[in-house]
Structure formats: structure tokens, C-alpha cells
Amino acid sequence: MVDRLKEKIAIVVGAGQQPGDTIGNGRAISILFAREGAKVMLVDKNLDAAKDTKSMIEKEGGESFVFEADIVREDDCRKIADKCVEIYGRIDILVNNVGIGEEDKSLVRLSEEIWDKIFDVNLKGMFFTCKYVLPVMEKQEKGSIINISSAAAVSAVRYVAYKISKSGVNSLTHQIAMKYAKNGIRVNAIMPGLMNTSMAIEGIARNTGRSKEEIIKA
């Protein structure tokens, strides 16, 4: 199917990816949105990674532009919404795809610094982006927000900060969905399981001592 998102304006936060041989969620979402006719704002802290995604979209004839932002900074998130409205006049779709789990540990071994870092990226950044996109969608009386959570939110896992932060994503999503449904805004969370992404492969290799090549083949 094509053109299901024709002329829609989409922001994908985390549109680049970690280096690796497989494609990440944010890049895949961005490319697929463009294939369906959306104009995609590619947001990432790593500008070069976002530019790589843009090149892939352009090779297929799609439209996108890159924007550098660190979502743990509230002002950066305000600028994301402002820039999209400046260029396109509206925001139809927001995808919050950024998440980290590096250095997470069991409860008694986890430092405050790493706890704060994971929560800042996984939850606070999502709060910031929604905070500034929602008023735009509210004026439009329509819009869709997709928050990438994780099956870890409802599973027994070894490490705590990632799991609890993703549980927070689910709660935030539910809260916003109930509040803004009357304004024509849909808000949903997707909870992927283990996927063949660079981030997942790196994490498994680090935690198990196996090579990345072995994990990919498995």
C-alpha cells in the first residue's frame, strides 16, 4: 500500500541509530512513513545519523529534513515543535522512539547517576516532546502520538531502571490519551519485544559476552 500518509507531517524523534549492521526502529519508521507519503522531520542528537536516514529517504524519492536536538533539554524539545510548525504549519504525527538501557543494573548495584540518566532519556524526554507538540495538535483538533515503550515494562527482567522507565512511558501514554481523546488526538504506546536492532544486539553482546556476529546469526 502507498500514500496512506500522503501529505501528513511527521516528527520522528530518534530517527538516526547506533552504528551497526541492522536497521534501528527510528530509521525504519522514518523510511516507511516517507514511503507512505509523509513529510518527515528527522530528529536526533547525532546529526550525522539523521543525515544518513535522510539520504535513504531521498534515494526513494521521499521528503524529509533533519533537526539536531537533545531531548533531555526542554528548550530543545520546544524548538522541535516550533521548527516543524515553521516549515510545515502543522504536526500530524509524533513518534517518540528514543530509549537507552546501557549501564542498567540490578537494584542494589544501580547508581543514582545511571538511574537518572535512563529516566531522563526514556521518560522525561518523552514528557518534554509531548508537552510542546500537544498544544499544536489541540489547535488542529487532530493528531497522533506514538510512544515506543517495551515489553520489558510488563515483564520480569534483570535490570530495573529500563523496565520502570518504560512502565512510566505506558502510564504517561494512558494519561495523555484519556485527557486529549476529546480533542481528536490519538495517543498509543507500542511495546516491542526483543528485536534485531543495533541497540539490542549491543546490549545482548555486552551482557552475555557473546560476539555480535553470533547473536545476529542466532
CA distance 37 to 132: 24
Letter string b/e over residues 164-191, b meaning 16 or more CB atoms within 10 A of that residue's CB = bbbbbbbebbeebbeebeeeebebebbb
**What is the grid cell recorded at 97?**
522512539
Is 162 annotated in the active site?
yes
**Would you list the DSSP string of 119-141?**
HIIIIIHHHHHHHHHHHHHHHHT
Selected catalytic residue, list 132, 159, 162, 180: 162
φ and ψ at 93, to 5 degrees?
Answer: -140, 135
Catalytically active residues, by annotation: 162
